[in-house]
Structure 1
Amino acid sequence: MKLLRIKISSEFSSLQEGFELHFRDPFKEGRDTNEDWQQFHPFCFAGLNGSGKSNVLEALSGIFYHLESCANVNQPENFKERFKSQEGKPDAYELAYYIKPKTEKGEYQIENMVLVMVTKKKDESPEMKWQPYPFEGEKMRDVEIVSKEKATIPAPGKNYLPDLIIAYSSGENEILSIPFLKTRLVHFDEYKEAIAGNIDYEKPESNMVYIDYEMSQAVLLSNYMFQDKESVLKPLDKYLDILDIKRFRMNLNIGHQLEKQPILKQFEKTLQKFKNCGTVRFDNGKKLLLDFWVNDDTKEAFRKNFKGGIYELFQAFQVLYTLNYRTADYGAKSEVYGSQGYYTHGKINMPGPLDKTFYFLDYYIQKRMKGTGEIKELLLKQLSDGEQQFLHSLGICLMLKSKSALLLLDEPETHFNPDWRSKFISTLKKSLEVTGSNDIGRDILITSHSPFIISDCLPDKVIYFRRKKENQKEVEGISARELNFKSFGASVDIILEVLFGKRQSIGNLARTKLQYDLKQVKTKADVDAIKEQVSDMGESIEKDLLLASLNQLNLQ
């Protein structure tokens, strides 16, 4: 998908009523800039803390959660009691984007795409329209996005939603994660009702995925079972020195019950696929342990059993993780479903290891050690925070080959070292290129304070957020192109000055040591004393300017 425009027509967090953001110019046949649509150009939202850049990601996650909830039909009863199509967060908006509907066949090409426009007015259900290629001169056509009562198939508008809405936040952005937490609870209750009704359950109905540490394990494992190590997975080797997954154990508490039935009853067919791929099995009727020693035969077994490919395997793990919500009580879930607030942490208690239905154990990777080149087996959890964040982002991109997707990455570089920050955008680009995926099917939004990331983004893709001076509550988002600022290839110092108002290249404490009143410098001895005082400080522009000013005094 490709975002075109969003307008928030009701107050949402720091985004005031009337906030509007244009992502790109409308598609027009023959326009030169259309070529950019088929190339990797993520959007980077930059600005000081509290400027509203993360609120756009939060608004988009809330919008697509609401649209998914309107269109889907397998929601549990306690969700249906709380959910109203007329109520959303944000509650009024306009959203326009281009997408290739799921009902059409073929590769992602401009000619396959349609323009989708969604409008929601306050206290009303959303309305969806679409317009076929080549857009100009074509009529907008209505499509129902709210499913009918007692419908057995989703509303037709579901076909005009992305295959995946994926979010990741290195800073545990709770507001961003709330729609995804609600989605996970819906998935669990869907499964619970499938057991009660003795209905087969294959995969979640919603397309929203939040990547935390546990889901990142599933992403990494799915990639290594299906992707080519010498090409697609090469970035993991090059940037993280991860060579392969060596071994892992799936711990399944099969003795757990749900609706007085074995909790994995509706998942037995998929569970058998895992058993077919395992190296060693232990089963005492209450606990099932599946050990996997990973080699070429193991990977071939996964490919034969999970014929739907990498995403079928990932969704199988997604379902298993969902079952860990078995300890969440009905009242707490109902409260979260109906919540229109900003906080849900603490309302859903996550179980400890003994109460979890599924988790990984002994998840070992092969890693090349820096400096020595020695190859060691390490637990995945032994990777640093920065390595795990890099792994989250790369793993997600490697899995998106044939999916239309919107990626919402909130400050993914928080724990990166400067070298990784400078390589982040180029690494994502290479990761997507090696999968052979087409960038027409995907948009990536990144919030960041890193000048390295901003320097790798085109001016019309860098959106600068600031609060308007005349009204401190009003947020403005304008592109670097509108600022007449050439962000792509700009130096770190220039970006810090233009976008963050930072006119110094060193810390405040060090800068105070370089501040002298030159009017008080009367003799050469005074000059020599100052030079001696700053001699043990590192090189910087500020230090060079001070020394140059001292030399110009020509004192005796």
Structure 2
Amino acid sequence: MKLLRLRIENKEGFRSLQQGFEINFHSLADTEAMEHFRPFCFAGLNGSGKSNVLEALANIFYHLEVCVARYLPQSIQNPDNFKRAECTPDAFTLEYLIGQHNRKCYALYYFDKVTIIKKEGKEPQMFIQSFPFDESVERREVSLVPSKNKESAAEGKTYLPAHIIGYSSGENEILSLPFIKSRLIHLDEYLQAIRDNYNDYDEAENSLIYIDSNMSQAVLLTCLLFEKDDALAPLRSVDNTGILGLRSFRVNIHLHDFEYEDNKGKLQKKEIMELLEQRQLDFLKKCSTSWFLDYKTNTLSLDFYVDEATKEAFRSHFSNALECFHLFRLLYELNNYFIDEKTKADVYRSKGVYTDGKLPTPSPSQDVFHFLDFYITKELKKTGKKKDLLLRSFSDGEHQFIHTMGICLLLKDRRTLLLLDEPETHFNPSWRAKFVKVLNDSIEAGNKGNDFNVHLLKDVLLTSHSPFIISDCLPDNVILFEKEENGKTSAKKVSELDNAFNTYGTSVELILDKLFDYNQSIGDLSFSEIEKINIDEITTPEEIAKAKATLTKFGESIEKDMVLSQLNRKLKDNPNVKNL
């Protein structure tokens, strides 16, 4: 998919984005650019509204997913928990291009232009146009209401992304809220299917997936089990993570019962694994090196020593990495089975920041699923030695790299929108400089063997303060967010600014100066000390020598060189001094 335009139209606006705020992404006048890797980088000072755009898109797609869903749990059908005519933001226009799996190939000629319009207090409407997406082609409205008998989702589901991926390097509860809601819907779908003996339950309809530390483990695991060596090359590079492969891991599954009230108000119990035991859990047992059931704690433990036979077992029982990932995703979400209905309702009804932060964390006795002894074989950069390390011993920066590369590999052939909020926060400067390239390498590595352009399937939006990342993005794809004097937020492509310049391959100093109004090459503390050297007040050779001595404690920088140059000029112009 490729985003075209988002406009906020409700009177209150959305967070820091006022009514009338508009952001333009890809241009129909330059469709060739869509065939290449062109991530959008949102730049700007803190509080300028960058993350609010990611949040708005996540909220909009969450709302649409619930509107079109075939099978919704009763909890979300409660009108207090979800209203089709109320969204946050409540009025907007969203346009994008998207292709379909049933078309001959992924080429823009076979894409549709999707326009979603929502007015305040009204249900959203979806319209589609085929190529060339202009007035020569009739615009057709597509239903966002599922069939009355719930045999199928609404037709509009076909024109939504297969996955919306969210990631934030910090505790960004604003971005994660619609993803938390989606997890609860998935959980309630599953629990209701058990209550209703609904054997047709498959993976969740909802497309939103938030990649936190737990979900990242599932991403990495499935990638290392299913992907071939050439696809894993960006991950394995010693200059990146140096991960060579998966050595071993254990899966613990507590076979809890969950309690519910039947139609007569009577308390009932059922095994929480009921829908998984006949197929998926049996698959895991067949793939494991050994397994055992502890009857005292009712815990199923499966051990996996990973070699080629293990990988072949997984590949024979699961059609692909994504199917396996969805099983682990569900198991993780089942950890929230104990959350009471009131807490769920509070989350479903929230329109702002979920102030309690996260959902309650299960105690060890409540936990349904977790990984243990997750060992990764890694090549150490300094020594070149190979060593088995626990995944939890990896640094925050390494985990961030894994998040990003893994999800690109996992969703290689899926129509995906990635919303990445400051994904490079924990990176060292070298990793920040190579992040965009690694993103591109990961997407292209996952495309090997396919006969379509994978870049047409994905759009990547990321917020960043890093000049290294900005310098790897084209000026049409770097969007500067600023607060204007009237308090309104503006979002303009760098190519459209009054002081437009080419960001691609531009030095970090120039980017800092032009986009962040920071024209120093050193930190403020050291700069303030250099500024104390008042050139105008230095008149004697002794004072010049003293100032030079002061400068010896500073490292090399443009600022230091400028002061030295002025001191040397004064020294040269002083006729009473021959040498110092």
Of 542, 555, 564, 1:525 maps to 542
SS at match of 1:513: helix
Q: Distance in 2 between matches of 1:349 and 1:214?
A: 15
Q: CA deviation at 1:432?
A: 1.2
Residue of structure 1 aligned with 2:360, choices 332, 349, 373: 349
CA distance in 1, matches of 2:388, 2:372: 14
Cα distance in 2 for residues equivalent to 1:395 and 1:258:
36
Distance in 1 of aligned mates of 2:25 and 2:209? 23
Alignment of 1:488-503 (within 5 A): 488-503=504-519
Distance 1:255 1:319 in 2: 15
Matched, 1:297 2:309: yes
The equivalent of 1:140 in structure 2 is 139
Q: 2:276 aligns with which of 256, 267, 270?
A: 267
Code of the aligned partner of 2:181:
K
Say if 2:252 and 2:369, in contact at 8 Å, map to a contact too.
Answer: yes
- Structure 1 CA distance for aligned equivalents of residues 333 and 104 of structure 2: 33
Unaligned runs of 5+ in 2: 261-268, 448-452
Aligned mates of 1:227, 1:413 — CA distance in 2: 25
Tell me by how many angstroms 1:462 deviates.
0.3
Aligned to 1:36: 33
Q: Deviations over 1:32-68 (max 9, x none)?
A: x322211111000000000011110000000000000
The one of 485, 490, 509 aligned to 1:476: 490
CA distance in 1: counterparts of 2:45 and 2:283, whole angstroms: 49
Q: CA deviation at 1:164?
A: 0.5
Paired position in structure 2 for 1:248: 249
- The Cα shift of 1:110 comes to 1.3
**CA 1:458–1:318 in structure 2 vs 1: closer, same or farther (change >3 Å)?**
same
* Residue deviations 1:103-148 (CA, integer Å, cap 9, x gap): x233311122000000000010000000011223101001011335
Aligned to 1:53: 50
2:21 paired residue number: 19
Distance 2:204 2:355 in 1: 22
**Secondary structure at 2:476 match in 1:** helix
Q: Which amino acid aligns with 1:542?
A: E
Q: Which runs of 5+ in 1 are unaligned?
A: 28-32
2:347 to 312, 336, 340: 336
1:321 aligns with 2:344: no
Partner of 1:121: 119
| SS of corresponding position for 1:7 | strand
Residues 4, 25 of structure 2: 8 Å contact kept: yes
Cα displacement (A) at 1:434: 1.5
The answer on whether the counterparts of 1:202 and 1:267 sit within 8 Å (CA) in structure 2 is: no
Q: Which moved more, 1:407-416 or 1:234-243?
A: 234-243
Q: Could you tell me whether the CA contact under 8 Å between 1:48 and 1:500 is conserved in 2?
A: yes
Aligned residue in 1 for 2:553: 536
Q: Report the secondary structure of 2:372's partner residue.
A: strand
1:440 corresponds to which of 446, 456, 480: 456
Cα separation, 2, equivalents of 1:225 and 1:434 = 16
CA distance in 2, matches of 1:438, 1:36: 13
Partner of 1:172 in structure 2?
A: 171
Superposed CA offset, 1:67-125 (max 9, x none): 001111322112111211100011100000000135x2333111220000000000100
Distance in 2, matches of 1:68 and 1:517, equals 64
The structure 1 residue matched to 2:105, chosen from 104, 107, 117, is: 107
Higher mean C-alpha deviation, range 433-442 or range 382-391: 433-442
SS of alignment partner, residue 4 of structure 2 = strand
Superposed CA deviations along residues 264-283 of structure 1, whole A, max 9, x for unmatched, are: 00112111111110001011
Residue deviations 1:233-265 (CA, integer Å, cap 9, x gap): 011111101100100001000143354111100
Query: 1:2 aligns to what?
Result: 2
Which region of structure 1 is more displaced relative to structure 2, 70-79 or 298-307?
70-79
Letter in 1 for 2:492: I
Q: Distance in 2 between matches of 1:362 and 1:24?
A: 45
**Number of the residue aligned with 1:510:** 526
Deviations, residues 442-498 of structure 1 (Å, cap 9, x unaligned): 1000100000000000000000000112x12x1000001112211001100000000
- Separation (CA, whole Å) in 2 of partners of 1:98 and 1:336: 31
SS at match of 1:281: strand
Q: CA deviation at 1:430?
A: 1.1
**How many Å separate the matches in 2 of 1:457 and 1:495?**
12
Matched, 1:69 2:69: no
Question: Does 2:172 correspond to 1:155?
Answer: no
CA distance in 2, matches of 1:105, 1:355: 46
CA distance in structure 2 between the aligned counterparts of 1:117 and 1:284, rounded to whole angstroms: 54
Give the counterpart letter for 1:491 in structure 2.
S
Aligned partner of residue 491 in structure 2, secondary structure: strand
| 1: CA distance, partners of 2:218 / 2:31 | 36
Superposition deviation, residue 150 in structure 1: 5.2
Displacement over 4 Å in runs of 4+: none
Deviations 1:288-319 (A, max 9, x none): 00000000000000000002x11101111111
Once residues 343 and 442 of structure 2 are traced to their aligned partners in structure 1, the CA distance between those partners, rounded to angstroms, is 40
Residue of structure 1 in register with 2:264 after alignment:
none
Q: Distance in 2 between matches of 1:282 and 1:120?
A: 53
Q: What amino acid is the match of 2:426?
A: H
Inter-partner Cα distance in structure 2 for 1:225 and 1:347: 30
What's the RMSD between the two structures over aligned residues? 1.3
Equivalent AA in structure 2 for residue 450 of structure 1: S
Q: Distance in 2 between matches of 1:224 and 1:207?
A: 23
Distance in 1 (alpha carbons) for counterparts of 2:510 and 2:382:
34
CA contact (8 A) 1:256 1:357 kept: no
SS in 1 for 2:547: helix
Distance (whole Å) between structure 2 residues aligned to residue 350 and residue 183 of structure 1: 17
Q: Determine if contact 1:168/1:211 at 8 Å carries over to the other structure.
A: yes
Give yes or no for contact 2:258–2:337 (8 Å, CA) kept in 1: no
Structure 2 distance, partners of 1:349, 1:380, is 24
Q: Write the distance in 2 (CA, Å) between the matches of 1:544 and 1:346.
A: 49
The CA distance in 2 between the partners of 1:319 and 1:38, in whole Å, is 34
Structure-1 residue corresponding to 2:287: 277
SS of the residue aligned with 2:41? strand
**Equivalent residue of 2:480, what SS?**
strand
